[in-house]
């Protein structure tokens, strides 16, 4: 009787294991079949085939190594990203219809001097809106000056050099203060925050070591774009490459009068400022609606004489240079 029970138990375990292997095998067969037809499938949808096939491969690897739960979570994140990309395209089409040739190009980079930036947004726009694509937003957010550490009822601006982050970086890199003695370090420790790179979690101490490494790399090699870094590392399918490397650059917003305001990407921006780097690429996440109206005026003009005094005063703004060829052979001749 005992031997029969043991044999029966072994059969049950064996059957259950066999069933699991069969299900995994069927799943892999289905995913491999999907992968085999992926190029045709994604081309019909108008998606980038290499990137899409890469993510299908990655999904299969996650399923094999980490199981269904991780696979579903990763698939959900990927679907959300694809949806954000689609929304950005629709938003860009809408802007093109409304603003014509002055409609902002979502992934276009402009070059600025970090020292020309006095303010940063608080809270940053990236917390509330998609950072994929670009936005045109009206309102008083660009005129609402907040006190550092004060309560926030609506979005406004704080002086960049008054922020705890900048002050801590200045004390560490310029005055030689240990990270452990800076306010930023204490804030991170008290909040229990840790940084999440592409996957996994980085310890607090390692976070600041990585920041030191970034500082010395920029000090020795200068400022490099995300695309240049990815090409050098040959990491063409890094999270920093999706949907485009340009979406992972320092993000700025522009107020109604053309004021450049920092929104996100504090680490690289702060280092560039401390090192005295005078020219860095940034992407514009938000333009104030009134600034966009000035852009439209400049973009549609064929002569400087057609422009208002306000528009003339902004002809050499970094966000206007794309229209320089439209007006009497360019701004520099006037």
pLDDT for position 320: 96
Mean pLDDT of the chain: 82
pLDDT tens, residue by residue, 104-117: 999 999 999 999 99
Q: For residue 13, what are the CA distances in angstroms to 16, 22, 67, 68, 255? A: 5, 14, 20, 21, 67
Torsion of CA 79, 246, 46, 76, to 10 degrees: -10
Determine phi and psi for 330, rounding to 5 degrees: 120, 155
Please, which pLDDT band fits residue 216 given cuts at 50, 70 and 90? Answer: very high
Residue 141 has phi, psi (to 5 degrees) of -60, -30
Short-list 244, 312, 318, 310, CA closest to 282:
318
pLDDT band at 334, cuts 50/70/90?
Answer: very low
Distance CA 212, CA 122 (A): 25
Contact 161, 120 (CB under 8 A): no
Total residue length of the chain: 334
Averaged pLDDT for residues 268-284: 98
pLDDT (tens digit per residue) in 159-170: 999 999 999 999
Stronger pLDDT, 316 or 54, i.e. the higher one: 316
Q: From CA 316, how far away is CA 314, in angstroms rounded?
A: 6
CA atoms of 144 and 122, how far apart (whole Å): 10
Banded pLDDT at 67 (limits 50, 70, 90)? confident
More confident residue, 25 or 105: 105
Contact 307, 301 (CB under 8 A): yes
pLDDT in tens, 80-95: 888 899 999 999 999 9
User: What is the Cα–Cα distance from 314 to 171, expressed in whole angstroms?
Assistant: 36
Helix pair angle (2-36, 49-66), 10° resolution: 170
Give the pLDDT of residue 271.
Answer: 98
Please state the rounded mean pLDDT for residues 226-252. 77
Q: What is the pLDDT of residue 239?
A: 55
Confidence of residue 150 (pLDDT cuts 50, 70, 90): low
At 69, is the pLDDT very low, low, confident or very high (cuts 50, 70, 90)?
A: confident
Q: Which residue in the block uniquely carries the two structure tokens 């500082």? A: 215
Percent of the chain at pLDDT exceeding 70? 73
Band (201; pLDDT cuts 50, 70, 90)? low
Distance between CA 188 and CA 204 in Å, rounded?
A: 8
End-to-end CA distance of the chain: 103
Give the pLDDT confidence score for residue 243 in this predicted structure.
Answer: 78
What is the Cα–Cα distance from 304 to 329, expressed in whole angstroms?
10
Closest CA to 50 of 228, 241, 240: 241
Most confident of 2-6, 231-235, 273-277: 273-277
DSSP string, 23-69: HHHHHHHHHHHHHHTHHHHHHHHT--HHHHHHHHHHHHHHHHHH-HH
What are the structure tokens assigned to 186, written together? Answer: 């204490």
> Quick one: what percent of the chain has pLDDT higher than 90?
57
Model pLDDT, residue 163: 95
User: What's the pTM value of the predicted model, to 2 decimals?
Assistant: 0.78
SS3 of 234, please?
coil
- Determine the Cα–Cα distance for residues 292 and 36; give it in Å rounded to an integer: 46
The least confident of 30-39, 190-199, 267-276, 325-334 is 30-39
Cα 243 to Cα 68, 105, 147, distances in angstroms: 25, 15, 36
Residue 37 has pLDDT above 90, yes or no: no
Mean pLDDT across 147-156:
74
Confidence grade of residue 10 (pLDDT, cut at 50, 70, 90): very low
318 with 110: CB under 8 angstroms?
yes
């Amino acid at each position: 009787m005992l031997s029969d029970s043991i044999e029966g138990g072994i059969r049950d375990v064996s059957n259950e294991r066999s069933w699991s292997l069969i299900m995994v095998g069927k799943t892999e067969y289905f995913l491999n079949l999907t992968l085999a037809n992926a190029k045709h499938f994604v081309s019909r949808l108008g998606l980038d085939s290499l990137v899409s096939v890469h993510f299908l491969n990655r999904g299969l690897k996650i399923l094999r190594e980490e199981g269904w739960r991780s696979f579903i979570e990763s698939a959900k994140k990927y679907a959300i990203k694809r949806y954000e990309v689609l929304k950005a395209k629709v938003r860009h089409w809408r802007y093109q219809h409304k603003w014509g040739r002055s409609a902002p190009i979502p992934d276009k980079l402009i070059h600025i001097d970090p020292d020309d930036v006095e303010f940063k947004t608080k809270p940053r726009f990236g917390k509330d809106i998609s950072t994929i694509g670009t936005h045109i937003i009206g309102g008083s957010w660009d005129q609402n000056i907040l006190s550092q550490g004060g309560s926030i009822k609506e979005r406004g601006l704080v002086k960049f050099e008054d922020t705890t982050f900048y002050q801590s970086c200045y004390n560490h890199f310029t005055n030689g203060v240990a990270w452990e003695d800076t306010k930023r370090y204490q804030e991170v420790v008290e909040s229990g925050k840790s940084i999440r790179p592409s996957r996994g979690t980085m310890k607090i101490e390692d976070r600041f070591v990585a920041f030191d490494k970034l500082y010395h790399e920029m000090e020795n090699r200068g400022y490099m774009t995300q695309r240049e870094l990815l090409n050098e590392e040959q990491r063409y399918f890094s999270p920093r490459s999706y949907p485009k490397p340009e979406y992972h650059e320092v993000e700025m917003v522009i107020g109604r009068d053309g004021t450049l305001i920092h929104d996100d990407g504090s680490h690289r921006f702060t280092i560039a400022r401390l090192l005295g780097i005078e020219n860095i690429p940034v992407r514009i996440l938000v333009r104030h609606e009134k600034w966009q109206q000035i852009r439209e005026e400049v973009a549609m003009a064929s002569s400087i004489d057609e422009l208002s005094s306000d528009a003339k005063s902004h002809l050499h703004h970094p966000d206007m240079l794309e229209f320089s060829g439209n007006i009497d052979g360019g701004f520099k001749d006037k």
